[in-house]
Amino acid sequence: MKKKLLSTLLAITMTVTVIAGCGNSSSGDDSTGNENSNEGVTISVLCPSTPYILTIESKLSEFEEETGIKVELDQYENDQLSNQIAVNAAAGGSELDVIFYRPIQENLSFISKGWLENLDSYIAEAGDEYDYDDYTESAKEITSSDGSVYSIPLVTEREIVQYNVDMLAEVGYDSIPKTYDEFIELCDKLQAAGYTPLGLRGEGNAAVTQFSGFLYGFGGDFYDLETGEALIASDEFVEALEFYGMLCSTYCPVGEINAGWEETSNWFTQEQVAMRIDADSQYSYALDPDNSLVADKVGYGVLPGETADSRSPYSIVAWSMGISSGSENKDAAWQFIEWASSKEIDLLAQQEGNFSARNSTWADSASTDDLPEQLIEVIESSNEIAYPYDRPYMQDGAEARTAIGELITKAEEGMTGDDLKAACTEVNEMVQSLLDEEGIGK
């Protein structure tokens, strides 16, 4: 699979759009000092409770005063938010203007149902000052479809390695190796020194996201984005399963088969393991001196790969925002999105705890002063080589994820070779039927 296919199509589409010079009115005439055409409009924004929303709230009065647009923020918990979007969209979506949603889980579904407005012309009119090209490639891929943009990425996280600097130094290491073979050598040395080397999610469903980076590192994937062919029974997938299962059963603490991110975090912060692999958004737990024994000795590394060049952690967009296709205030909705995702607001959001999708925000020291320097380097390096999803990217991804999680459990329990291949083949048939039903690759 060519994982950059979507961004290539996106680039073509955006180029054509800019050349054509077509598009919707975005931010009125504010930039020229003339009266804003959206003055007096009230827009509804459905959103979750995230650090980014706190930043928007803190500056919202300035936006309203400058534009004359009234913004009604309606906050919900994740599943409630999805339900509200579905109920309103099914009724035509006219009560919705701006929608915050989770692109990996909901992008394909929302687009196929026609709930999201195509943003290409808005972005083209926004021009260089807005700088859409500033977003990371993986973030642009997952918020697009068939070469067109449907939402703006806001909140991101990546798969990284955290490690205990003192424990690794004791066995002669000051960084994380780049290849799986070298990583195993490190684990063996840590084990020989009396340490438990690794904390990994072992509970099947929860483990799928962390397994994904190892799968990509072996050159595999859940399915081929171009053809829609399921790849669960491929040699690369089986090899990745065997490897992940071996890491869990050989190098993790007893009970790992039931472990999620909370358990692995506790293992690491209480010095029960030398390394932990999970999302970078959880970095702060280990740095809290009141609850962590390793607060002053945490290092960070890029996830290894089968080869140094095949390293492929995920870098996902946890939240993005788009325009409801049924909105009666689309220009005003875009004006809000353009402001809320501007470089200025994005920088403020990262200063308050958000992990940005903009390269310029990561490059600005004002947004990273409170972050460990090595963590920033790992994040920037990971962004350059990352996949945009950490689970099957499909409408029925939850069902596929559950079945793949069961395969991970089988691998942890020692299933290998032909038996594991047969189990993968059975799941592959199920996933293929889901892909066919969705028309992916057709």
Q: Same CATH topology for 5-150+316-378 and 157-314+389-438?
A: yes
Contacts of 114 (CB under 8 A, 6+ apart): 325
pLDDT at 381 over 50: yes
Give the C-alpha separation, 168 to 189, whole Å. 9
Point out the least confidently predicted range of 20-24, 89-93, 129-133: 20-24
Residue 35 pLDDT greater than 90, yes or no: no
Listed in sequence order, the DSSP H helices in 218-329 are 235-251, 261-269
Q: What is the mean pLDDT of residues 429-434?
A: 97
73 and 52 in contact (C-beta within 8 Å)? Answer: no
Q: Write down the residue that tokens 């961004």 correspond to.
A: 7
Using pLDDT thresholds of 50, 70 and 90, give the confidence band for residue 428: very high
Q: Residue 391 has which token pair?
A: 């689970």
Q: Greater confidence, 410 or 396?
A: 410
Question: Per the structure block, which two tokens stand in for 251?
Answer: 């190098």
Is residue 99 within 8 Å of residue 85, measured between CB atoms? yes
Q: Residue 148 pairs with which residues in a beta bridge?
A: 145
271, 298 Cβ separation under 8 angstroms:
no
Q: Which long-range contacts (CB under 8 A, 24 or more apart) does 413-420 make?
A: 413/245, 413/249, 413/257, 414/245, 414/249, 415/245, 416/242, 416/245, 420/238, 420/241, 420/242
Spatial CB neighbours of 255, under 8 Å, sequence gap ≥ 6? 263
Of the given ranges (17-26, 228-237, 433-442), which has the lowest mean pLDDT? 17-26
Residue 420 near residue 238 (C-beta atoms within 8 A): yes
Position 347: which residue type? L
Q: Distance between CA 335 and CA 319 in Å, rounded?
A: 19
Average pLDDT of every residue of the chain: 92
pLDDT tens, 172-201? 999 999 999 999 999 999 999 999 999 999
CB 375 within 8 A of CB 283: yes
Q: What is the CATH number of domain 157-314+389-438?
A: 3.40.190.10
Q: What is the pLDDT of residues 222-279, one digit of tens each?
A: 999 999 999 999 999 999 999 999 999 999 999 999 999 999 999 999 999 999 999 9
The domain segmentation of the chain, as residue ranges, is 5-150+316-378, 157-314+389-438
What is the domain class of 5-150+316-378 according to CATH?
Answer: alpha beta
393-to-6, 104, 155, 375, 431 alpha-carbon distances in Å? 13, 6, 18, 27, 11
Query: Looking at per-residue confidence, does 134 or 11 come out higher?
Result: 134
Q: 3-class DSSP state for residue 301?
A: strand
Model confidence over 293-333: pLDDT tens digits?
999 999 999 999 999 999 999 999 999 999 999 999 999 99
